[in-house]
């Protein structure tokens, strides 16, 4: 298995030829749920929940979000900028821009032409575009957006650019939304009145809804004008912020009520090379000073090349902290530890040269938590957040393994704990949840008194069902567990044929009952990856899919949501009448929690079989209110999925149950996950 996973990046044509694994279990789903009527012939499974016996506190961080800029998650995704390559900084600085009436090999007397000027010594952040217009009726500059631009009828869009009109040769710059037939669907203009660099803004109102317009820029006047940082955002971003995030996508995140937000990844933390690692200091401060970097997923998979994938860092560390705050989630930044991705170059910083990396971690804590007049607190303050972000957790290394990691981790741990003893450090057990790397890493980390160890599992749906008991026998008393990245793979890890199908989601639900039953040990969990653009993705499956107009939650998303929205704060035992945990016997899985604030208990039940099950749940030692509500997630076929064509094929359905003599009797349909909310008297 390990060798299979070791080759998971840079897989090329091999994957293209892979056939979709068929898991067609076409059992019809009968009625969604039949309530309170136990068939006279059926065999009943009797379960009991002892409400007075709380086994452990459920941490508010139990269910969270893993965010990585993969699949156009940030640029082209939740970061609402609609212009691709707005600062002309991509490796090919005109990528994303077209001049249909210009010819690089001519004088363009009937139009004009743009050239990229590189100024200064920093070749990656000083480009601008010099447009020379010979004939203003012929010259056109077009930005194609991220696989087009999605616009909504009557919505407003804020356009801005920087221009230097040295000789005042250009009187007007006109901006238009244009559809594929050339029809204009909204326009505005600016008057570039200054001879030196100046920022201009204008608002476009879309006259139609269209998923794929482009932005056309035309000019009045002949001569030269310099342009830079050409930007376009919907006015309606999340919380109306100008450098904002897509409202619909953030709303889906907010609906999860996440306990934490892990950022910025994922492998993106480490980089394919050390030079391409994520450097948080380059992502904060004034927007236009942030240095663009190639996205590591640009070239990662030969079968899903994305040559136009770069990181503008418009969504940088400040914005991640702000998003965590908006979501009521604990911020959990993960920092590189002097190791490039071990699936790629694995470049190492010598131990003697590790200081700047360690200093990055210490400075980040000051950026997040330091007083507004401390050196890094000042940067946060200058960005509009004088109050600290109260960061409690930091991750050192993403998916690192081997002695090289342990010796680097130890240096970080010592430095951080000396200065900030209360910060909880997350460490990595590597990419696999078993095997040599895992055994070695976890045992060495325990010697270092690691507090929370991050485990990752990308595996088959069967693995998830079989591993619902994974943590039952883990040794307690040492490090806690962060299930930091997991997702069932319908074909295999990194296969482009993986689907967000019901079998995967249901198997994750079964596994999650095991996470929850062990909430004394497992204190953080997150599905990965989070977001994917319908046309710009590299990795599948993902929790949420979007295009330029719409976003939807997968069946896996609703599994996460049901667990997270019903996390409770006390873990209760749910068992068979002979005292066994419900973890796969007869294809049933269960966990149970209490919410002392709302006075409810939440029972999670998963039936992974093709047979309807009859259950009797005895609630012991606490009087129940008369009714209960079941939130049921189910689908006819294990191959079913939500999609842009059917956004809500698999979403929770609500049904009322009644309790008699402190008992619930119910039937659970084949292939069904449900949360039962039971009110206590
Ligand atoms: O979630 C996709 C990738 O899987 C992450 O970047 C990495 O941490 C893991 O290998």
Predicted pLDDT of residue 42: 57
The answer, yes or no, to whether any atom of ligand 1 lies below 6 A from the CB of 267, is: yes
**553-599: pLDDT as tens digits:** 999 999 999 999 999 999 999 999 899 999 999 999 999 999 999 99
Predicted pLDDT of residue 390: 98
> And the tokens for 110?
């009937």
Spacing, Cα 648 to ligand 1 middle (Å) = 27
- Determine which residue's CA is closest to atom 3 belonging to ligand 1: 266
Is it the case that residue 269 has pLDDT exceeding 50? yes
For the CA atoms of 165, 169, 175, 179, the dihedral, rounded to the nearest 10 degrees, stands at: -130
Predicted pLDDT of residue 125: 60
> And the tokens for 133?
């217009």
Q: How confident is the model at residue 157 (pLDDT cuts 50, 70, 90)?
A: very high
pTM value is 0.94
Q: How confident is the model at residue 210 (pLDDT cuts 50, 70, 90)?
A: very high
Largest interatomic CA distance in the chain: 91
- Determine which residue's CA is closest to atom 2 belonging to ligand 1: 529
Angle at 393 between CA 389 and CA 395, to 5 degrees: 125
Query: Angle 402-419/355-369 helices, nearest 10 degrees?
Result: 40
Best probe residue, ligand 1, of 2, 67, 70 (max atoms within 8 Å of C-beta): 70
Predicted pLDDT of residue 660: 87
Among the listed residues 539, 120, 506, the one whose alpha carbon sits nearest the alpha carbon of residue 309: 539
The DSSP secondary-structure symbol of 255 reads H
Best probe residue, ligand 1, of 276, 304, 539, 543 (max atoms within 8 Å of C-beta): 539
Best probe residue, ligand 1, of 267, 334, 335, 540 (max atoms within 8 Å of C-beta): 267
Is it the case that residue 49 has pLDDT exceeding 90? yes
**536-548: pLDDT as tens digits:** 999 999 999 999 9
Best probe residue, ligand 1, of 9, 265, 335 (max atoms within 8 Å of C-beta): 265
> And the tokens for 457?
């599992």
Predicted pLDDT of residue 120: 65
**Phi, psi (deg, nearest 5) at residue 108:** 55, 45
The answer, yes or no, to whether any atom of ligand 1 lies below 6 A from the CB of 430, is: no
Is it the case that residue 122 has pLDDT exceeding 60? no
Is it the case that residue 94 has pLDDT exceeding 80? yes
Atom of ligand 1 nearest to the CA of 399: 8
Atom of ligand 1 nearest to the CA of 431: 10
Q: Are 632 and 17 in contact (CB under 8 A)?
A: no
Predicted pLDDT of residue 4: 38
Predicted pLDDT of residue 9: 54
Among the listed residues 423, 528, 444, the one whose alpha carbon sits nearest the alpha carbon of residue 486: 528
Spacing, Cα 267 to ligand 1 middle (Å) = 5
Q: How confident is the model at residue 43 (pLDDT cuts 50, 70, 90)?
A: confident
The answer, yes or no, to whether any atom of ligand 1 lies below 6 A from the CB of 398, is: yes
Is it the case that residue 68 has pLDDT exceeding 80? yes
Q: Show the domains of the chain with their CATH numbers.
A: 2-58+569-680 (2.60.40.1180), 65-80+238-565 (3.20.20.80), 97-234 (2.60.120.260)
Write out the catalytic residue numbers: 399
The answer, yes or no, to whether any atom of ligand 1 lies below 6 A from the CB of 528, is: yes
Q: How confident is the model at residue 231 (pLDDT cuts 50, 70, 90)?
A: very high
In this structure, the chain runs to a length of 681
The answer, yes or no, to whether any atom of ligand 1 lies below 6 A from the CB of 67, is: no
Q: Are 676 and 628 in contact (CB under 8 A)?
A: yes
**596-650: pLDDT as tens digits:** 999 999 999 999 999 999 999 999 988 888 889 999 999 999 999 999 999 999 9
Q: Are 20 and 497 in contact (CB under 8 A)?
A: yes
Among the listed residues 334, 392, 332, the one whose alpha carbon sits nearest the alpha carbon of residue 360: 334
Mean pLDDT for 165-189 is 98
**Phi, psi (deg, nearest 5) at residue 219:** -135, 155
Mean pLDDT for 427-450 is 97
Predicted pLDDT of residue 188: 98
Helix (H, G, I), strand (E, B) or coil at 483: strand
Spacing, Cα 605 to ligand 1 middle (Å) = 29
Q: Are 533 and 547 in contact (CB under 8 A)?
A: yes
The answer, yes or no, to whether any atom of ligand 1 lies below 6 A from the CB of 432, is: no
> And the tokens for 355?
């200081």
Q: How confident is the model at residue 326 (pLDDT cuts 50, 70, 90)?
A: very high
Spacing, Cα 398 to ligand 1 middle (Å) = 9
The answer, yes or no, to whether any atom of ligand 1 lies below 6 A from the CB of 399, is: yes
Helix (H, G, I), strand (E, B) or coil at 579: coil
Spacing, Cα 484 to ligand 1 middle (Å) = 10
Buried b (16+ CB within 10 A) or exposed e, 222-245: ebbbbbbbbbbbbebbbeeeebbb
Is it the case that residue 59 has pLDDT exceeding 70? yes
Spacing, Cα 358 to ligand 1 middle (Å) = 23
β-pairing verdict for 613-620 and 210-220: unpaired
> And the tokens for 242?
């100008």
Atom of ligand 1 nearest to the CA of 528: 1
CA distances from 247 to 78, 329, 388 (A): 8, 17, 25
Angle at 92 between CA 89 and CA 98, to 5 degrees: 95
- Measured CA to CA, the distance from residue 38 to residue 76 in angstroms comes to 52
> And the tokens for 247?
């409202």
Tell me the percentage of the chain whose pLDDT exceeds 90. 89
**Phi, psi (deg, nearest 5) at residue 318:** -60, -45
Is it the case that residue 17 has pLDDT exceeding 80? no
- Determine which residue's CA is closest to atom 5 belonging to ligand 1: 266
**29-40: pLDDT as tens digits:** 333 333 333 333
Cβ-based neighbours of 357, under 8 Å, separated by 6 or more: 335, 336, 337, 338, 349, 412
Measured in whole angstroms, the distance separating CA 537 from the mean position of its chain's CA atoms is: 13
Spacing, Cα 356 to ligand 1 middle (Å) = 25
Spacing, Cα 403 to ligand 1 middle (Å) = 21
- Determine which residue's CA is closest to atom 6 belonging to ligand 1: 266
Is it the case that residue 19 has pLDDT exceeding 50? no
Q: How confident is the model at residue 353 (pLDDT cuts 50, 70, 90)?
A: very high
Predicted pLDDT of residue 510: 98
């Amino acid at each position: 298995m390990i060798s299979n996973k070791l080759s998971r990046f840079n897989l090329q044509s091999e994957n293209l030829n892979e056939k979709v694994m068929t898991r067609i279990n076409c059992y019809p789903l009968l009625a969604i749920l039949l309530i309170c009527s136990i068939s006279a012939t059926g065999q009943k499974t009797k379960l009991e929940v002892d409400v007075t016996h709380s086994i452990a506190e459920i941490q508010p961080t139990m269910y969270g979000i893993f965010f990585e800029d993969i699949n156009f998650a940030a640029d082209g995704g939740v970061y609402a900028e609609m212009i691709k390559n707005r600062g002309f900084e991509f490796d090919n600085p005109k990528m994303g821009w077209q001049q249909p009436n210009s010819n690089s090999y001519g004088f363009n007397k009937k139009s004009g032409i743009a050239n990229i000027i590189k100024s200064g010594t920093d070749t990656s952040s000083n480009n601008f575009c010099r447009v020379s217009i010979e004939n203003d009726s012929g010259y056109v500059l077009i930005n194609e957006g991220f696989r087009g631009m999605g616009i909504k009828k009557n919505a407003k869009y804020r356009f801005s650019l920087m221009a230097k009109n040295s000789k005042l040769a250009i009187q007007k710059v006109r901006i238009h939304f244009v559809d594929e037939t050339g029809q204009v669907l909204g326009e505005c203009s600016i008057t570039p009145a200054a001879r030196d660099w100046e920022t201009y803004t204008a608002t476009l109102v879309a006259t139609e809804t269209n998923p794929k317009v482009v932005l056309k820029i035309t000019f009045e006047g002949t001569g030269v004008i310099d342009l830079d940082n050409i930007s376009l955002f919907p006015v309606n971003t999340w919380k109306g912020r100008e450098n904002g995030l897509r409202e619909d996508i953030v709303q889906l995140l907010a609906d999860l009520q996440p306990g934490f937000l892990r950022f910025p990844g994922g492998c993106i933390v480490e980089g394919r090379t050390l030079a391409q690692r994520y450097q948080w200091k380059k992502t904060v401060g004034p927007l236009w000073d942030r240095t663009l970097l190639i996205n590591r997923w640009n070239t990662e998979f030969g079968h899903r090349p994305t040559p136009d994938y770069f990181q503008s860092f418009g969504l940088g560390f400040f914005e991640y902290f702000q998003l965590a705050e908006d979501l009521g989630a604990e911020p959990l930044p993960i920092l590189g530890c002097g190791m490039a991705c071990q699936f790629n170059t694995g470049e190492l910083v010598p131990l003697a040269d590790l200081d700047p990396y360690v200093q990055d971690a210490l400075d980040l804590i000051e950026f997040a938590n330091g007083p507004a007049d401390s050196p890094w607190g000042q940067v946060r303050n200058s960005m509009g957040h004088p109050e600290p972000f109260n960061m409690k957790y930091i991750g050192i290394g993403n998916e690192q393994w081997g002695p090289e990691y342990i010796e680097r981790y130890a240096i970080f741990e010592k430095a951080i704990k000396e200065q900030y003893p209360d910060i909880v450090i997350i460490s990595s057990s590597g990419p696999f949840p078993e095997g040599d790397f895992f055994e070695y890493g976890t045992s060495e980390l325990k010697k270092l008194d690691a507090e929370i160890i991050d485990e990752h599992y990308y595996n088959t749906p069967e693995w998830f069902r079989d591993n619902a008991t994974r943590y039952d026998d883990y040794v307690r008393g040492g490090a806690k567990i962060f299930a930091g990245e997991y997702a069932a793979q319908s074909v295999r890890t990194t296969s482009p044929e993986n689907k967000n199908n019901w079998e995967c989601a249901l198997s994750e639900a079964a596994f999650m009952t095991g996470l929850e039953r062990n909430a004394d040990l497992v204190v953080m969990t997150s599905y990965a990856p989070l977001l994917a653009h319908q046309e710009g993705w590299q990795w599948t499956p993902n929790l949420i899919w979007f295009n330029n107009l719409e976003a939807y939650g997968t069946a896996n998303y609703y599994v996460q949501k049901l667990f997270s929205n019903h996390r409770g704060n006390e873990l209760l035992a749910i068992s068979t009448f002979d005292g066994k945990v419900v973890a796969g016997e007869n294809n049933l899985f269960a966990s149970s929690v209490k919410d002392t604030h709302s006075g409810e208990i939440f029972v999670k039940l998963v039936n992974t079989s093709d047979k309807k099950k009859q259950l009797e749940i005895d609630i012991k030692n606490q009087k129940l209110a008369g009714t209960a509500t079941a939130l049921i997630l189910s689908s006819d076929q294990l191959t079913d999925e939500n999609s842009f064509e059917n956004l809500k094929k698999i979403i929770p359905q609500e049904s009322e149950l009644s309790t008699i003599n402190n008992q619930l009797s119910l039937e659970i349909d084949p292939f069904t996950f449900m949360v039962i909310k039971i009110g206590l008297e």
